[in-house]
Structures are given as structure tokens and as C-alpha cells.
A = this chain, B = another copy of it.
Amino acid sequence: MPELRREPVVGRWVLVRTADSLAPKDFEKEEHPYRQAATCQFCPGKEPYTPGEVDAVREFGTVANGPGWSVRVVPNKFPALRIEGGLNKRGIGLFDLSNGVGAHEVVIETPDHFKVFADLSESEMLNVLLKYQSRYVSLSGDKRFKYILIFKNFGESAGASLEHTHSQIIALPMIPKYVREELEGARQYHGFRGRCVFCDIIHQEYQDKDRIVLENNDYIAFCPYVPRFAFESWIFPKRHNSNFAQLSRDELSPLAQVLKGMLSRIRECLSHPSYNFFLHLSPVNYESDESYHWHIEIIPKLTRMAGFEWGTGFYIVPTDPKLAAEYLRQAGEAK
């Protein structure tokens, strides 16, 4: 019998196939051939082809927009939003609208065209996380922005259009719907019980044990009891934390370890699937909200959304998260 499960933060119901769960071998494999190495504009030596860099990790003595970088942040050449101008909020009949003001940046994670993110060493990954953080802090300085989304698309079916490994940062002038729902759910729970709902979820994961994939002293990675997708995985700081901006290098270093561990296991276990990950961080230039607990969500792209999901917001999860976690743990041991 499949199980209907309700997510405790936003109240989403999902259907989990606890019997006849799909195993990694049951999903279609996707190839990721390198096709565009010769013409790649993210490779070293091609710096003039991107908009001028806004941040980078560079060898001593090298200059902006030349080679010698290990991480490079540039504005998106085809941005979804424009950085210039005012919002000019207005109503048209029933509808509210404003100008599409925002920032859209690209984080080139390594100069090496033939590496994927999981290939990076922990210290290289730490450098990427530090750039995520410095851009988050810097963009927060623009009072027009209310939310900054840091995310990664890997592989064609996850929406990646360029193969050189990179992540993206979008600064928005409002708090998007999913995040607002999470914030409100966390606030309500906190008001009602005096505790962080995400801390309670982590506590529950420790009680149940079998959905935890890996952890270190500071971070825990698990397949949540109520995911939207097969093999969906979340990474949380173990101790309550709503402030990504103030983490020290020493506090981000163990995150690099867990993130690399998870991405390596997902690659190993699921034959190098396309995936998305995104950081759910606190809003910026907004009432501070201590009840939120920032985290990372990773979704391997194994199945397609269809009419049922689009019509309802109700998800059918073909793999029990308990089994997903077991497969991911085994993938770690096999290495």
C-alpha cells in the first residue's frame, strides 16, 4: 500500500511508493558528453567574452578578467532580470506588476572544462561556497533586493544549457512563493511550539536513523521523510542557524565536505544523473527571522513532472526515502 505523507512545514501532501520502490537501476540513464569545449566562454583565456567579473578566487599577481583564477563570478550574459532601474510597482486592473529589476550572476566553479562539481576537492568546493557567501553579502547591500537564490543546474534535463560547471545567483525584489511558505510555516510552528520546525525535523531524523546518509560534527545530510522527488536529499547545519552570511571559513569547510560527499554518492549511485540544488537562505533587507534554518536541497532529475503534479502540486515519489538513503550510503562505502 502506498503512503500519503504530509510535509510539516508547508503542508504539502505526497504519495510515497513504499512497496515496489524504484531502485537506481530502474531510472533512465542520461549521458553528459562534452561538446562545447572548443567554443566555451567559461574557459581560461576566454575571459573577455563574458561580462566583467564581479568576484573571483585568483592566484596572487593575476588581474581581473585574465587567467589565473580558480573560481570566477560574472554577470549572466543573458540575464533573466536587469540590474538597472527602479521597480516602479503598479497595478493594472486586477494585476500587480513591477519592472524586472534584479541581479543574475554565474559562478564558474573551476577553470577545468572537463570537471563536474563533484570532482572538485573539498578545498576547491569550499572556495565556491565562500564565493556564494560573499556574493550573498554583497548583493544584500542593494536595498531593492529581498531574496537571493543560489542554485545549480547540472545536465540537460535539469535545465543546464552550458556544460562548463557553474552555478547561478539570482537576486529578486520580492520573496518567492515557496520560500515565503517555508518562512511562514516555520514562524507559525515556532509561535505555536517555541521551537524551530527544522530542528525538530533533524531531531526526528536522528530518532528514525534510517534516512540519514552522512554527517560530520556540523552538518547532516538525509533523504527527507516527505520529499517531492526520488532520492531528494537535504543538507542542514545541525545546530540552529538562520544566518548564512556570518558563517566563518571554518564553519563552511565541513559543509564542503558533506556537499561533496552527497554529490559524489548521487553520481555513483544514480549513474551520474542531472540534478538541481539550491540554497534556501533567509531573505535579505527584510525583518530578521530567527525561526528560519537555512539548508541545501538537492534534487536528482530521475522522473518527469506530468499533468497530475502540475494540476495539484501533489507529488508521486517512486522511491521510499529510507531505501534511497540506504542506496546512497552503500554508494559511499563502495568507493
Contact = CB atoms under 8 A, between A and B. Distances in A.
Interface stretch (A51-59, A129-137, A272-280): A272-280
A179 interface: yes
A281 B183 CA distance: 29
Contacts of A178: 311-314
B85 A151 contact: no
A170 to B, nearest CB: 6
A307 B153 CA distance: 6
B1 A82 contact: yes
A245 interface: no
Contacts of A96: 5-6, 8
A7 B177 CA distance: 11
A280 B314 CA distance: 14
A157 to B, nearest CB: 7
A200 B174 CA distance: 25
A215 B13 CA distance: 36
A2 B81 contact: yes
Given A1-B85, A306-B158, A12 B312 contact: no
A254 interface: no
A181 B178 CA distance: 13
15 contacts: A2-B81, A3-B99, A4-B87, A4-B99, A6-B96, A8-B95, A13-B177, A15-B80, A152-B307, A153-B307, A159-B305, A159-B306, A176-B312, A176-B314, A177-B312
Interface string A264-308: 000000000000111110000000000000000101000011111
A149 interface: yes
Majority secondary structure of chain A interface residues (helix, strand, loop or mixed): mixed
Interface residues of A, number: 72
A310 B13 CA distance: 17
Contact of A100 (B2, B225, B277, B305): B2
A160 to B, nearest CB: 8
A247 interface: no
A93 interface: yes
B100 A276 contact: no
A97 interface: yes
Contact of A204 (B2, B93, B100, B177): B93
A94 B204 contact: yes
Nearest to A161: B306
A98 interface: yes
A191 interface: no
A207 interface: yes
A308 to B, nearest CB: 6
- Sorted from nearest, which 5 A-B pairs have the closest CB atoms? A159-B306, A278-B311, A2-B100, A151-B307, A176-B312
B6 A97 contact: yes
A301 to B, nearest CB: 9
A316 interface: yes
A276 B308 CA distance: 9
Nearest to A12: B177
